[in-house]
Amino acid sequence: MTHLKSIALVTRYWKPLEDWIGDITRVLEDSVEDGDVVVISDKAISTATGHIFNERRTVPSFTAKVLAKYWMRYIWTYFLAPLCHLSERTIQHIRKYPIVEGSVHKQVVLEFAGFLQALMHSSEGGIDSSNLPYSYVSIPLKKPHQIAEEIYHQIISKLGKNVIVMIADTDKTYSWRNIHFTPRPGTIEEIHSVGGILSYLIGRILRLRKRATPLAIAGSKISVEEALNIADLADQSRGLGAGKTVWDMAQTFKVSLTGVSWEMLEGIKHMPVTIVRRIY
């Protein structure tokens, strides 16, 4: 039987347009072995490659305002959240969903991801504001497979190690038997990305098995089941950075939801790179 062992590696906080691939090879140099799976956080790569958007420049529509003021604070709080078995702490956050900032955020989601994603209560369409400063949100990578290939070839070139590279996201994939689906767009082929909130509701209400989502794999093919297990182990190992949600992040630094700075984030331990090793 094969077991999986994970090693989370600490890097500096990757700000936009820095040498983040160089950081990956540096932290792997003394730890990686042939056959390892190197898992990198999609969110960290989005930030490092400048796939971020400043929501302050957005003017919310009537639809976005309705979603923030009524859909989030009432429909989610009193109906959908209990159906989805969300924690009381999460429900309290949703109940206090900020109307002004929330309306702007929902407008960004409507423009980038569409209406069914905007109905989600968080990480709509893979758009995420945690571990980012001010009013920035990360936008999902357009071509994660190309980036995974680039990282793979850099590791081969610089370190001479034959590894598998995976880019993964904390957003969940739900599994029923051999059917795997997620509300998050842009995953590996074997995972069905459909329905936005509909996928989320089905997975949560039925309490289906949920795991972090692999978005791209380079170096060698692995089964979807193993990919899900590896992505989930890496997700559990790497920690939460400044916080799992924007509320947690604000509480960590004792500032407003948009009061976190780049300097604050640089002072937090970040582990966007995880080695997952098969133990036979």
pLDDT band at 163 (very low <50, low <70, confident <90, very high): very high
Q: Do both 89 and 164 map to the same domain? A: no
Question: Of the residues 138, 166, 194, which one is the last residue of a structural domain?
Answer: 138
Kindly state whether residues 37 and 160 are assigned to the same domain.
yes
Q: 257-265: long-range contacts at Cβ-Cβ below 8 A with a sequence spacing of 24 or more?
A: 257/98, 257/101, 258/101, 258/134, 258/135, 259/134, 260/132, 260/133, 260/134, 261/133, 261/134, 262/13, 262/15, 262/133, 264/133, 265/13, 265/131, 265/132, 265/133, 265/241
Q: 247 pLDDT exceeds 80?
A: no
Task: Specify whether 127 is located in the same domain as 240.
Answer: no
Q: Which of 77, 107, 138 is the last residue of a domain?
A: 138
182 shares a domain with 253: yes
Domain boundary among 105, 138, 171: 138
Q: Structural domain of residue 207, as residue ranges?
A: 3-50+141-279
Q: Let me know whether 150 and 266 are in one domain.
A: yes
- Is residue 222 domain-shared with residue 271, that is, in the same domain? yes
CATH of the domain at 237: 3.30.1330.100
Shared domain for 104 and 22, answered yes or no, is no
Residues 85 and 153 in one domain: no
Query: According to the model, what pLDDT value does residue 2 have?
Result: 73
Q: Enumerate residues 6+ apart whose C-beta is below 8 A from 214.
A: 166, 167, 168, 187, 188, 191, 227, 228, 230, 231
Please provide the average confidence, as pLDDT, over all residues in the chain.
93
Contacts of 1 (CB under 8 A, 6+ apart): none
Provide the pLDDT for residue 36: 97
Return the pLDDT at 229.
97
What's the mean pLDDT in 32-60? Answer: 95
107 and 236 in a single domain? The answer is: no
Number of separate domains in the chain: 2
Q: What is the mean pLDDT of residues 107-120?
A: 96
Judgement on whether residues 75 and 164 belong to the same structural domain of the protein: no
Provide the whole-model pTM. 0.93
Residues 207 and 161 in one domain: yes
Residue 162 and residue 133 in one domain: no
